[in-house]
Structure 1
C-alpha cells in the first residue's frame, strides 16, 4: 500500500511537471494574470482598513467625522471599481491561457493518434480513445481554469491577509496561523481519497463511452439477433460501476467544504473572543477589531476555494494522466533520413522469407515467399483467417514484418517513406469508409484539387453517377456520419470512384464488390479490367468466379501459400483450390 501511494505521488508530480511544460509558452500571460491577481487582492484587502477607519470616524452620537467618512467612502468605491476591472481582465486572460493550452494538448493528442501504429488502435476501443481526446481533456480544462481563476487569487489573499493582520495585532494573528494547519490536514486526507475515485471514474467513463459507441455502431445487428436485453445488462453493469465511483468521488469531494468550513468557523470564533478581550484591554479599537474580523473571514474563505480547487484538480490530474499516456505511446518507427520516395513505381514486388504474427507465440504468416512482376494481377484466396487481409496490411506497411522483407522495385519498404508507399496503392476494402462531407469531397479525398469534370468522369467509370444525380443536391449532397443516408452498395461505389479518380500505379481490391448487385458488379468488373491493365494488382476474393482471369492465383491456408498458378493450372492439380472452386460451383448451382 505504501509503495502504491508513493508511486501515485511520483506519477502526480510527473503529470504536474508535464502540465507546467504546456503552460510555459504562455509565461507572459501568466505573469500578467499574477500581477492583476495581486492588484485585485491588494485592493480587496485594503477595503477592510478603510471600513475600520470609517467605523472609528463614527465615535458616537454627534461625534461623526463626516469629512473623513466621505473620504473613506470615496476610497472604497474607487477600490471596488478598479478591483472589478482588474478581475474582468484577469478572468479573460485566464480563459485565454486555459483554452489555448487545451487546444495545444488536443491537437497534439489527435496528431499523435495519426502517427500511432495500427496495432495500438486495434488493441484499444474507439470509445476509450475518444474519451481521452475529448472528455478527459475537457475535465482537464475545467480543473486548470479553476486553478488559474481561484488558486492564484486564493494564495495571494491568504498571504495578504496575514500581512495586514500582522500590522494590526501580531498576537491575534498567531491564533489564526496556529489553527490553520488543521484545515490542511483535513483537506489532504480527503483529497487523497477523492483522487482514487476520480481516476476510477475517468477510466470507467472511457469504458462506457466505448461500449455505447460500439452498440450504436452495430444497432441493427444487435436488434436483428435480439441482443437488446444482454446489451442493456452489460450497459447497466458498467453504468452501475461508474455511478458507484462517481458517488464516492462526489462524496469525498463534497465533505471537503463542510469539514474545512467547520474549522474556519472555529478560527473565526477564536479571533472574535481574543479580539473582544483586546478591545476591553485597550490594545485594539472597535474599528480595528472590525477590520480584523473581516480579514479573518477573508483569510478562511480562500481555503474553502483552494480545497475545492484541489479536489477538482485531482480529477483534472487523473484525466491529464490518461491523455499523457496516449501521447507517450511510441509512434510507428521513424523513417530513415535517406528514405526512398517512390515517384513512378513499376510495381515489381518481392516477399522474401516473411514471418508475421499479431500475438507473440501464435504464428500466422510463416516463411512466405512471393515474386510479382510489374502489371501482374494477383488473386488471393483461402479460408477465413488464413492471412489474406494480413498480407494486405503488410504490403501497405500498416504492420511491419517480423522476419524477412518486402520489396517494391528493389527497395525494402522499410526504407521507403510511408506516404509515397501508401499513395502508390489504390485500396478498396470490403468495409467502406466515407467522411461526413459532400459526395464530391469524398470522391476527391485522394486528389483534393480534382476538377468537377474529373470527379464526374470517375463516378461514371464506377457506375455511381446515376444514383448521385438522383440525390437531393447531386454531387454537393452531404453524406451523414458513416454514410447513414446511403446504402452499403452506394457507399462501395463511391469508394471505387475515389480510386478511379486517383489512378494509382498499384491496386489492392479486398472484396471490393461484395455489397453490389450482380448487374452492377458485372459492369464494375469491366471497369476494373480497364483500371488494372498495366497495373500491379492484388485482388482478395471469396467468389472464385471473379478471379478466373488473374495472372497468378495464390491459395493461402494457415499463413502459407500452399498453391499458386492460373485458374486452369490449379484446377488441373485437383488440390485445395479445386476443392474450393467446385464446392462453390455446387453451392451456386
Structure 2
C-alpha cells in the first residue's frame, strides 16, 4: 500500500484504525519534551545535516568552474592556436593536450564533497535510528509500568487488542517514523534555503526564473497531499474494519459454521474488502500523481532556464563564462524542488506520529490505583482470615448500584458458598475483597483491620484463586505451577500437583513437569488445565481461598477429582466458593444467596429449600427449565423472611 505521497505505509499498525490527533499542538509539544535528554544528539544531527546541505549546493560551483574553464580554453585555442589554457592547450604538433592533474583535482574535490555528504547522511541516520530505538525501549517500559499500576476497571473498559495496539503499534509508529521526520525535515529546509541563497549569488536572473515555479510547486503539493491523505486515512479505517471482521469471524468460526452463516460472513467480508480496495486504489493513484506532475513542472523550469540562460549568454560580454552557470542551474532546479516532493510524506508521517503519540499519552495519563496508605500492613504472617463486609455499597457505573448495604461475616477457617443468578454481584465480591475495585461506602475488614490498611501486594498475596477461566502461559508445567510462589522447590511443586490430582497425568506427558504448554495451555484438556491452576493455588500457601465455579467445563470424573482437590485445599482456610450451578454447593455448610446486589437468603442447602424462597426457585429452575427471574419481582415477602433468618445465622 502506498503512503499519501507515494511512500510505503508508516509503522506496523496494519490492523489499527488510523485517526487524526485530538490535540495536535499539545501532543507535539509533549512529544518534543520527551526527547529533551537527547537534545544534544539532535543538535549534532542538525549541524551535520546542515553541513551536508551546504556541500550539496557548493559542489555544482566547482562543476561550473570546470565547464567554464574548458569552454574558455576551447574558445581561446580556436581564436589563437598558441593559446595556453587552464585545462587544455595545443602541442607543437597541433594535438590537444589536457591538464589531467588539474582536471582530476577538480573532479576529486567534487567527488570528495559527494562522499562526505553521503557519510554525513549515513551518520545522521545511524544516530537518529539509535535514538529512536532507545526511545522505543524506554516508552515500552513506561507503558508496561503504567499498565501494572492501573486499576482493573481500565482493563474492563478496553479490549486487549486496543491495549496491545498502544503498546506495540503506536510505539512502532513513533519510533520508525522519527528518522524520516528528522532527516527529511532538517535536510529539506537547509537544502531549500541553501539552494536559494547560492542561486542568487551565482545568477540572480536565473534564480528569479527558478522561483517562478515555486507557487506552482506549493499548490500541487498541498492539493495532492490533502486529497491523498484523505484516501489514505479511509484506507487505514477500512483495513481496521476488515481485520476486525476477520478476527471476529475466525475466533468464533465454529459458531459461524453451526448456524450456516458462511455466506453471510463472506458477503460482509467482500463488502469491506471492496471498500478497502477503492480507498487503496484512490490513495495509490493520487499518491502517484505527485511525481509525474512535479516532473512536468521541472520540465517547465528547464525550458524557462534554457530560454533565459540563452538570452543571458547572448547578451553577455563574456558569453563563454555563462555556459557553466546555465548548466548547473538545471541541477539547482532539481535540488530546489526536492523538498516539495518530500513535504507530503513528511506531513502524513508527522500526523501519524502525533496521532499515535496522542493514544500513548492518553494511556500514560490514565488514573492509577491509589497508593497504599502510609504504614500499611506489609506482612502476611499474622493474617488469620476473619473477614467482615460491613454495610458495603458498590457500583461499577456511577448512580447504578450493584451492591447495596451488604453485611457478611466469615470466621477464620470457615467456608462460605455464594450463589445467585447472573449479575447478582457474586464475582463482584471477589473484586472487592482483592481490592481490584474499592467500595463506595462501608468497609471490608480482614482480622479487624480495614483492607485498605494492607498493602495490596500483601492482601493479594494471602489469597489463592481458582477461577472458572483458567490462565496458563507458554512455558513448562513446572513454571506454571511455580508461578504461584517463585521460591517453591521441585518437591513442593510435585506435592502440590499430587494434592491437586494432577501428578498422574503430568507424569504421562513427554518430559513430565518440563512438558511445554502452548499459550493458554491449549495442548492439554480443559480439566487438566484446571488441575494445574489448583496446584498453582496450593503451592502459593494461601491464607484465604476464592474458588469461582472451577468445575463448570469438565467431565464428571474430572469434576470429582477437582472437587476433592479443592476440599483438601480449603481445609482450615477461609474460603469463598462462587457458584453458578447451585448443585455444586449443596453440601456447603453455609450458602449465601444474592440477588441484585443484596444478600436475600442464607443457610444450609436443606434450610434454604425448606424456606421455599429465592434459592429454592433458582435450584428447582436448574432442573425444571423454568425462569426464576420471572418470579423474582414477586419475592419481596420471601426476601424479608430470608433476611431475618440471615441475621440470626450471622449473629450466632
TM-score, normalising length from structure 2?
Answer: 0.81
Query: CA offsets per residue over residues 192-214 of structure 1, 9 Å max, x none?
Result: 55555555555555555444444
Q: Does 1:511 align with 2:523?
A: no
Mapped to 2, the partners of 1:331 and 1:244 lie a distance apart of: 43
Specify which of 114, 120, 129 is matched with residue 95 of structure 1. Answer: 129
Q: How many angstroms does 1:233 deviate by?
A: 4.3
Q: Deviations over 1:539-558 (max 9, x none)?
A: 01234443344342101112
Change (3 A) 1:407 1:26: same
Structure 2 counterparts to residues 566-581 of structure 1, below 5 A: 566-581=604-619
Q: Report the more deviating stretch, 244-253 or 109-118.
A: 244-253
In 2, distance between residues paired with 1:386 and 1:545? 18
Contact kept? 1:202, 1:318, Cα under 8 Å: no
Structure 2: segments with no counterpart, 5+ residues: 1-18, 78-84, 89-98, 626-652
Q: Is the 8 A contact 1:347 1:535 kept in 2?
A: yes
> What is residue 4 of structure 1 aligned with on the other side?
none
Give 1:330's aligned residue: 367
Deviation at 1:280, TM superposition (A): 2.2
Whether 1:561 and 2:595 are equivalent positions in the alignment is no
Does residue 409 of the first structure (1) align with residue 447 of the second (2)? yes
Whether 2:340 is the aligned partner of 1:306: answer: no
CA RMSD of aligned residues (A): 3.0
Residue 221 of structure 2 is aligned to residue 183 of structure 1: no
Q: How does 1:85-484 map to 2 (within 5 A)?
A: 85-177=119-211, 179-195=213-229, 198-199=232-233, 201-202=235-236, 205-206=239-240, 208-236=242-270, 238-240=272-274, 242-243=276-277, 245-247=279-281, 249-250=283-284, 252-282=286-316, 285-344=322-381, 345-484=383-522
Deviates more, 1:538-547 or 1:494-503: 538-547
Q: Does 1:73 pair with 2:104?
A: no
Q: Could you tell me which residue of structure 2 aligns to residue 32 of structure 1?
A: 44
Note if contact 1:132-1:206 (Cα within 8 Å) is conserved in structure 2.
Answer: no
Query: Is the contact made by 2:305 and 2:326 (CA closer than 8 Å) also made in structure 1?
Result: no
SS at match of 2:495: helix
Q: 1:391 to 1:343 in 2, by over 3 A?
A: same
CA contact 2:221–2:341 (8 Å) conserved in 1: no
1:58 paired to 2:44: no
8 Å Cα contact 2:418/2:578 also seen in 1:
yes
Which residue of the partner structure matches residue 84 of structure 1? 118
In structure 1, distance between residues paired with 2:389 and 2:277? 53
Whether the 8 Å contact between 1:253 and 1:308 is mirrored in structure 2 is no
Q: C-alpha displacement at 1:81, in angstroms?
A: 2.7
The SS at the match of 1:58 is helix
Shift of 1:354: 2.2
SS at match of 1:383: coil
Q: What are the superposed Cα offsets for residues 183-238 of structure 1, whole Å, 9 maximum, x if unpaired? A: 33443444455555555555555555444444444333443444434444444555
Q: Alignment length, in residue pairs?
A: 581
Q: CA deviation at 1:144?
A: 2.0
8 Å contact 2:403–2:425 — kept in the other structure? yes
Equivalent-residue separation in structure 2 for 1:250 and 1:420 (angstroms): 57
Higher alpha-carbon deviation: 117-126 or 245-254: 245-254
The answer as to 2:574 corresponding to 1:531 is: no
Moved more, 113-122 or 441-450: 113-122
Whether the 8 Å contact between 1:257 and 1:308 is mirrored in structure 2 is no
Structure exhibiting the larger radius of gyration computed from Cα positions:
2
| Aligned-partner Cα distance in 1 for 2:22–2:605 | 64
Q: TM-score normalised to the size of structure 1?
A: 0.89
